[in-house]
Amino acid sequence: MNIVPSFSFKYKGRPFDIADAKVFGTEYGRRYELPDGLTVELHIEAYPEYSAVKWMLWFENRSARDTGIISDIRDCDAAWCFMDGPGRSVNVSLFDTTGNTSYESYLTEENCSTEYSVHEKVLSPGVTAKYHPLGGRSASGQMPFFELFAADKNAVGNGYGAACSGLSGAGAVGNGLFAAIGWSGQWTAAFTRKDGDIIGIQTGLDYTAFRLHPGERVRTSSILLMDYTGDRVYGSNRFRRLIKERFCPYSMEQLPFALEGMGMPAAKHLFHIEQFKQHGVSADYYWIDAGWYGKGGAPGAADWYKQVGNWQVRPDEHPEGLVDVVNAARDAGMKFLLWFEPERVYPGTDLAVAHPEWLYPLDGFYLLLRLDNDDVREYLFEMLSGFIERLDIRCLRLDFNMEPLQSWRITDNIDRGGINEIKYIMNLYRLWDELRARFPGLIIDNCASGGRRIDIESLSRTVPVWRTDAYCEFTRDPDVIQTQMFGFNRLIPCSGGVCKKLGDTYATRSAYAPAYVGSWWWTDRPTPNEEQFAWMKKMCDEYRRLRPYFSCDFYPLENAGWSYAHGGWAAYRYDRPEHGDGIIMAFRRAGSNCETARYLLPGLPADNTYTVTDLDTGASSTLSGLSLSTSGLLVTIEGQYQSKVLLYKTAEAAEA
């Protein structure tokens, strides 16, 4: 790693100068003390095995009077030198990833397919590329993850190298750098190509101009940088491993595999659970989504959004307070997962009436809870803790369906710009941390309208099981989910997939992920027949068998999979080099006229012998690692809108 942790900000209108401060080495990094009592702490964490470093800032007022204005904080103000040796290209590419956008985007398949799409921008000398999310949620519209790549001078391609024919190689080799921002609010990022071989990197909060009161202490965003030498597939898998091993707070085996139902009367939940049990349909969790709370009236699934703020179990639909449903799920071998949306409040609900002082002014249709207030954080902690204890909740699903930025900005005092957002996000992290400390083993699903709060700080505390609201539609085209998979999986190994298409193996496999939700029998849909229950059992059994692979090294195998194009195939590979095995998932889309594709499997030891097995037919063949990596594997799918799962393993892996 050739980057030195560095930052910048303005103090009293002037750029901060280290020469003005006393500098102390600390166990966490460095501390800078200014004469007027302002202290800045630089916290550094190094991951030398990944050539990576993370850092963040804390600001504290140790005096008896207010500080001057602290503004334009750039937690990262660093430079990356990409020409480590001879032969590097003058071309440097910056890759960014689209985040989730508005609800309207889910009304068309084409719009959904752009989520998690990857965009390339060539940085010429003097060019600056700037980014920020929409509305105050870290991954809304723009993901806070970036990759810089400088290919070797004679290299061909952009580092991925997959060919439309399906014959794919490792891609161009060069120098790369991943940059990931840790702030679950409104961040900003700028990448500038300077003279020669230097890229300037600036990241931080989008707006800061505040004083600190005596004794006040706040943190801002973090930054994670990881460099690599190789092709971009190698770089992305190195980054996935870094996130999995050093940031994901749960083992992949802990992530929820669930059967889902929306808010509906207890009798229906009990009927569903009993039918699952009788037919051997088994998952780890029983999931109840929105609509279980409120005072009664319209069916819970119909007015779920009007009841946020009435945090009590609906007495009309759940006279036993959900305890009977929890017990039935436990008897069927399932833990309990329950949905909440604690930060948004509907006008006129119990919380809005009892504590108007806890609410930001009305912004459109909903009220935002003032999580920057410590009393509010304590209320949420106790409220959620009470439900967790009473209902033995093992996975807490937290949604957040509004944009907080305007509420933060319009209520900031003139000399406290950005402080509402800072304290809100700090208390959000504290709430998550305190819940996990009080309930060891508790999993927190971070939804936020489907994947709009994904960053390295949220990933270190929660998991985005419902990573897109594209999952909401019953008729969602699975090719959309495949396309999203390509962009998301190049960055993040811990997330979830959802499928609502009963009897559709192609769609179900398209959504397989480390966490998985089978929403095949949802709310008031008809009771499945015997054949459909048998299919559900088969899919659950298959998912359990394949699940260990989905957080491992990820290899895209088809360019067509990056786009929502029905005329091609989508295919990708998960590899476990430590175990000597992996899987290939291939999808022949509805408009494809090709029955075969051939895929190279780079990285396999040439001397190893692999058995390749078709999970549908049981047919197997034996091939060498050399053959698979140079000649490739021929995959045949005879029908359109059909899929294949192929398992490959060495003899040693088969015996393990």
Could you read off the pLDDT of 230-244 as tens digits, one per residue?
999 999 999 999 999
User: For residue 383, with 0-12 CB atoms within 10 Å meaning exposed, 13-18 middle and 19 or more buried, which class applies?
Assistant: middle
The 10s digit of each residue's pLDDT in 7-46 is 999 999 999 999 999 999 999 999 999 999 999 999 999 9
Lowest mean pLDDT: which of 65-79, 465-479, 639-653?
A: 465-479
Residue 221: its H or E element: strand 217-230
Number of H helices, E strands in the chain: 15, 35
Q: Which residue has the tokens 């436990």?
A: 330
Do the bridges between strand 569-576 and strand 553-556 make them parallel or antiparallel, or are there none, so unpaired? antiparallel
Predicted pLDDT of residue 161: 46
Check pLDDT > 90 for residue 158: no
Predicted pLDDT of residue 163: 34
Check pLDDT > 80 for residue 404: yes
**300's tokens:** 């819970």
Sheet arrangement for strand 198-205:
76-81, 198-205, 187-193, 128-131
Q: Rounded to whole angstroms, how far apart are CA atoms 297 and 282?
A: 33
Residue 100: its H or E element: none
| pTM, to two decimals | 0.95
Check pLDDT > 60 for residue 168: no
Q: Are 644 and 586 within 8 A, CB to CB? A: yes
Give the end-to-end CA distance of the chain in Å, rounded to a whole number: 37
Helix (H, G, I), strand (E, B) or coil at 223: strand
Q: What are the Cα distances from residue 378, in Å, to 215, 307, 314, 373, 427?
A: 21, 21, 24, 9, 9
Average pLDDT along the chain = 92
Structural domains of the chain sorted by starting position, each given as residue range(s) with its CATH number in brackets = 253-549 (3.20.20.70), 553-655 (2.60.40.1180)
Check pLDDT > 60 for residue 5: yes
Q: Rounded to whole angstroms, how far apart are CA atoms 393 and 16?
A: 48
Q: Rounded to whole angstroms, how far apart are CA atoms 558 and 166?
A: 5
Across 453-459, average pLDDT:
98
Check pLDDT > 50 for residue 618: yes
Check pLDDT > 60 for residue 156: no
Sheet arrangement for strand 609-614:
553-556, 569-576, 581-588, 642-650, 609-614, 620-624
**CA 348 distance to own-chain centroid:** 33
Q: Are 281 and 536 within 8 A, CB to CB? A: yes
Beta pairing partners, 193? 199
**431's tokens:** 């709430």
Q: Which residue has the tokens 């973090």?
A: 222
Helix (H, G, I), strand (E, B) or coil at 192: strand
Provide the percentage of residues in the chain whose pLDDT is more than 90: 82
Lowest mean pLDDT: which of 152-161, 546-555, 621-630?
A: 152-161
Torsion angles phi and psi, residue 112, rounded to 5:
-60, -35
Predicted pLDDT of residue 169: 34
Map 290-345 to HEC letters. Answer: CCCECCCCCCCCCCHHHHCCCCCECCCCCCCCCHHHHHHHHHCCCEEEEEECCCEE
Check pLDDT > 90 for residue 286: yes
Confidence of residue 604 (pLDDT cuts 50, 70, 90): very high
Across 76-86, average pLDDT:
80
Provide the percentage of residues in the chain whose pLDDT is more than 70: 93
* Cβ-based neighbours of 469, under 8 Å, separated by 6 or more: 100, 103, 106, 449, 450, 451
Beta pairing partners, 588? 569, 642
Nearest CA to 337 out of 460, 255, 246, 422 is that of 255
Q: Rounded to whole angstroms, how far apart are CA atoms 202 and 190?
A: 5
Predicted pLDDT of residue 170: 45
Q: Rounded to whole angstroms, how far apart are CA atoms 557 and 160?
A: 9
The 10s digit of each residue's pLDDT in 129-148 is 999 999 999 999 999 999 99
Tell me which amino acid residue 393 is: I
With vertex at residue 436, the alpha carbon angle to CA 430 and CA 439, rounded to the nearest 5 degrees, is 135
Q: Which residue has the tokens 């549908």?
A: 616
Check pLDDT > 70 for residue 103: no
Q: Which residue has the tokens 């060495």?
A: 650
Lowest mean pLDDT: which of 107-111, 167-171, 427-431, 540-544?
A: 167-171
Q: Pseudo-torsion of CA 501, 502, 503, 505, nearest 10°? A: 40
Predicted pLDDT of residue 164: 31
Q: Are 413 and 196 within 8 A, CB to CB? A: no
Q: Rounded to whole angstroms, how far apart are CA atoms 568 and 163?
A: 12
Confidence of residue 165 (pLDDT cuts 50, 70, 90): very low
Q: Are 75 and 224 within 8 A, CB to CB? A: no
Q: How many CB atoms lie within 10 A of CB 155?
A: 18
- Alpha helix stretches (DSSP H) within 439-561: 448-451, 456-459, 478-489, 505-510, 530-546
Predicted pLDDT of residue 558: 85
Q: Are 220 and 183 within 8 A, CB to CB? A: yes
- For residue 566, the number of C-alpha atoms closer than 13 Å in the C-beta half-sphere is 8
Across 380-398, average pLDDT:
99
Predicted pLDDT of residue 225: 98
Q: Rounded to whole angstroms, how far apart are CA atoms 347 and 14?
A: 44
Which of residues 300 and 297 earns the better pLDDT score? Answer: 297
With vertex at residue 170, the alpha carbon angle to CA 114 and CA 200, rounded to the nearest 5 degrees, is 65
Q: Which residue has the tokens 């809005």?
A: 352
